[in-house]
Structure 1
Amino acid sequence: MDLRDLEAFVAVAEELHFGRAAARLHVAQPPLSNRIRRLETELRLQLFERSTRTVALTDAGVRLLDPARRTLVQAAMTREIAASIVSGEEGRVRTGFAGASSQRLLPLLATAVRRTHPRIELVLQSQTYVYTALEELLSGALDLAFVRLPIAHPELSSRAVELEELVCALPADHPFADRERIRLGDLARDDFVSLPHDQGSMLQSTMASLCHSAGFRPRIVQVAPDSSTVLALVAAGAGVTITLSSVCPVQSVGLVYRPLEGIRPSHLVSALAWRTDNPSTALARVVEVSESALPTPDFDELGIDTSLIGIGQV
């Protein structure tokens, strides 16, 4: 059924005059009459009683008028939604996040998106480790993800959103707890608590690399699935660990956090990443919003050597 035929029917039904209905639709009267006849033929119903002076709805026409109006309203809504999707004002952006840093940044982004593009839905998917989010970006299961730099995937674009300092977490009664800074080499004899080495955790691999640079291999006595559990074990006296400044608020009782002296790199970088070839206009709008909601840190002003923290491709 041609929607223009329904529009013609509704116009004539409301005006009860072919001339006025034609003027309302900005068409000539003969084509309008042809549309009405075609619709009546298709429906096998007479919709109007016509005379030389009057036009009236038949019983069938009366009964079909409201459904025809509703159909036109739904069609208009469909066109409006389609236009919103094309413009990026409506849609779904599947967003992956993992770790304490993204849990702090995610609400800032979500709030900004709701304020500026209320018809874009962020579908939030929690991940245990960042590498999982990268895999799902590559497979197309996610549109956007909070990750850490560097990213070794040319298919992905990214922008840095936060600089996180690497710090040492010690039990509150540790002999070095009263020091202002910790030299990593001084912890060579300590027990360490770590994230799993086989799960692709960048924090775990960074800790192992830094200890190696300091001249020792960390003695891992306990492994925990996430940073919250790692810090709980440190607070209980199981060992020490290297963690991130964004994680510090997660656990404060029984712990002290101290800056590490003389390590390179001294920071990790959180970023937003997405497939470069993702055609979603809603994704493009969210990335645009992120530029103001989560601005890229000024690394030059902070005196950070970006070559040490994987910023080259941002």
Structure 2
Amino acid sequence: MELRHLRAFAAVAEELHFGRAALRLHAAQPALSQQIKHLEQDVGTLLLERTTRQVRLTAAGVVFLEHVHRVLAEVDRARESVLATERGARGEIRVGVTGAITWRLLPRMARAYRQRYPLVRLDLHPAVFSGTQVSSLLDGRIDVGFLRAPVPDGPLASRVILNEPLMAVLPLGHPLAGADAVDLADLSGEPFVTYPSRHGSALRDAAVHACFSAGFTPRVVQEAPDTHTVVALVGAAVGVTLMPASAERLQLEGVVFRPIAGGVDVRVPIALAWRREDPSPVLAGFLATAEEVLPSPPRGDR
């Protein structure tokens, strides 16, 4: 039983006229008659009664037409689904997110993307550290990631979408807590709380580099696995730290956030990263949407 035979039968059954059905299908009438005969042989019964004056459905033909309509509708849905997948309009994209700032950016991106691609499922994969996101991209566990730059060269491509300033985070009773801004050099003798070095934290690396630029190596007295805990330890007067401005949204008691003075460049770039050779049309649609919704900052701000 061939699909073309089902389409031929549906056309004749709806038109009840071989000539009109042939015109509708852009087919020759004798070929159409042969297709109906082959179909009736496959089904094993007469589906159409033909006379010189009219064509009408048999009782079996009426029942069969109902099934043919369902089959053809399902075939059309299957074709559209395949074409939508090829266009990147259907499927799934696995998105890695890291840190408070990416959770702030993601809703804007997700809303725009879902408006354009409502049939694509966004599968979010949270991770604490950017190094984890890089590994997940390389291993194929996620398709695209919001992470702290820099992103290693090679199989990954990336684009900076935001530059976020680091701020000094101090216990409420700290002598510098009342200052409008904090010179990094004034923190050279302070104990620091930060992320573990073994996890490949881009934020830790940026903070350490900023301290180096100010002429000292931070004395780390305690490490914590996430931003919330690091800031809470500062609130407990265990030490000070450097955090991106978005961490202030945690609104933990006992801590103050102060801008960094002294001319040290302490911005932390946020990047969108993906596998360079990934041919996925779903990924292409996501990246195109991101180009509009989350454009790269001007060169002077990078």
TM-score normalised according to structure 2 size: 0.94
Stretches of structure 2 that go unaligned for 5 or more consecutive residues are: none
Q: Which residue is 1:239 aligned to?
A: 239
Give distance in 2, aligned partners of 1:224 and 1:299: 34
Matched, 1:156 2:152: no
Give the letter for the 1:46 counterpart: L
Alignment correspondent of 2:258: 258
Give 1:264 deviation, angstroms.
4.4
Partner of 2:62: 62
Equivalent in the alignment of 1:184: 184
The 1:251–1:222 alpha-carbon spacing in structure 2 relative to 1, beyond 3 Å, is: farther
Correspondence list, 1:79-158, <5 A: 79-158=79-158
Q: CA deviation at 1:252?
A: 4.5
Are the structure 2 counterparts of residues 263 and 230 from structure 1 closer, same or farther at C-alpha, using a change threshold of 3 Å?
farther
Runs of 4+ in 1 over 6 A off after TM superposition: none
Mapped contact 1:232–1:251 kept (Cα < 8 A): no
Identity %, equivalent residues: 43
Q: Which residue of 2 aligns with 1:299?
A: 299
Distance 1:171 1:163 in 2: 26
Deviates more, 1:253-262 or 1:23-32: 253-262
Per-residue deviation, 1:263: 6.1
The answer to whether the aligner puts 1:211 opposite 2:211 as a matched pair is: yes
Q: Tell me which amino acid in the other structure corresponds to 1:102.
A: T
Structure-2 separation of matches of 1:141 and 1:264: 37
- Pairs aligned (count): 302
- In the other structure, the counterpart of 2:47 is 47
Question: Alignment partner of 2:5: what SS?
Answer: helix
| Equivalent residue number for residue 276 of structure 1 | 276
* Distance change (3 Å), C-alpha of 1:45 and 1:265: farther
TM-fit CA distance, 1:90:
2.5
CA distance in 1, matches of 2:296, 2:81: 33
Q: What amino acid does structure 1 have at the position aligned with 2:276?
A: T
Residue type of the partner of 2:122? Answer: L
For 1:15, the equivalent position in structure 2 comes to 15
Deviation at 1:121, TM superposition (A): 2.5
Q: For residues 263 and 81 of structure 2, what CA distance do their matches in structure 1 show?
A: 53
1:149–1:268 CA contact under 8 A, matched in 2: yes
Letter aligned with residue 268 of structure 1: V
Cα separation, 2, equivalents of 1:87 and 1:132: 30
- Give the structure-1-normalised TM-score: 0.90
Amino acid at match of 2:267: H
